[in-house]
Structure formats: C-alpha cells, structure tokens
Amino acid sequence: MGRLGSIDSVSSVLEGLARRLGLESKLLESRLRRDWVSIVGEPIASNTWPDQIRYKKLYLLVHNSVWLHQLTFLKPTLIHKLNAVAGGELIADIVLRVGELPKADHGPTSPEALPATTSPPSDALLAEISSHVTTIHDPLLRDRLAQLMAQELAQPHVPKTD
C-alpha cells in the first residue's frame, strides 16, 4: 500500500489561502492593531497607530511632529521588527503622518472584548467576500471564513486625517 501524503496544519492551509486571495496585508493590519503594544512597546504604541497597509507601505498615524521626527530614525528597526512579526517581507516602507489616534485602548483584545454591535455588512461587501471564498471546497470552512471576514471588515475604522 502506498504511503499517504502528509497532512498540512490548519494554519499553513489558511496562510496559503490568504496568500492566494491577496489578504496577507489585511490580516497583518488586523494583527498589528490587535498586538500593537506588544510589537512596538508602550512608549511608541501610545503615540502611534497603524492605519493601513497599501503596496507594502505601512501608513502610521503619529501623535505629533516630535514623534514623527523621532520615528524617522527608527524606520529601519521598525520595518525589520514588523516583517519579523509578519513572517516575510510584507512591509517595505513606513509612511508617517501626524493625525488623531483612536481613543480606544491599544492593548490586545480577546473575542469577548470586541463590541457586540457592529453594523451588518452591506450587500456589496458580502458579494466581495463571497467572490474571495468561492474556491474553498469545504462548505463549513468557507462559511466560517466568510463570517470572520465580514465581522472584521464591518467593524468601524478610525477616520483618516490628512
């Protein structure tokens, strides 16, 4: 009898799926927001907030121009640290902008600590999510991933200040 192939871990399957669907940067954004204090430390975390990742650039909101100036010197160190957390070269540059930071605590959140009331996802959002998960053959996994994506994308985000 032939040898059966090795079984991949769920995390490796989901990482491959995220890579194929182009969701790596969105997942990293979420992880950065969730674990920002533990990644960069309290002094930096209390004066910055990861706004978004676009084209391998992390857009970082900074409390004031003094912190913006200081962080320009720390960019290489931060990029190295963030890519270590990401497990690959997902961030090539950091764009610093002075802006209003969210009032919420930057500490890690558990699923129980997330707000119970989020606006229901729009039909357009559900259609986009559905288009991303159609290649998943397991209906339970497909539905659960779609639910998680809808939950994350339906949460209100901090408005950008330019």
Question: What band does 64 get if pLDDT is binned at 50, 70 and 90?
Answer: very high
Q: Is 85 exposed, middle or buried (0-12, 13-18, 19+ CB in 10 A)?
A: middle
What the block records as the tokens of 137 is: 């053959």
Strand partners, 93: 57
CA angle in degrees (0–180, nearest 5) for 36-118-16: 55
Residues 71-85 have pLDDT tens digits of 999 999 999 999 998
Q: Where are the domains of the chain?
A: 11-102, 115-155
Start-to-end C-alpha separation, the chain: 65
Q: Tokens 């991933």 sit at which residue?
A: 145
The pTM is what? 0.55
Q: Does domain 11-102 have CATH number 1.10.730.10?
A: no
pLDDT the model gives residue 103: 74
The tens digit of pLDDT for each residue in 14-36 reads 777 777 777 777 888 888 888 89
Query: Above 90 in pLDDT, residue 1?
Result: no
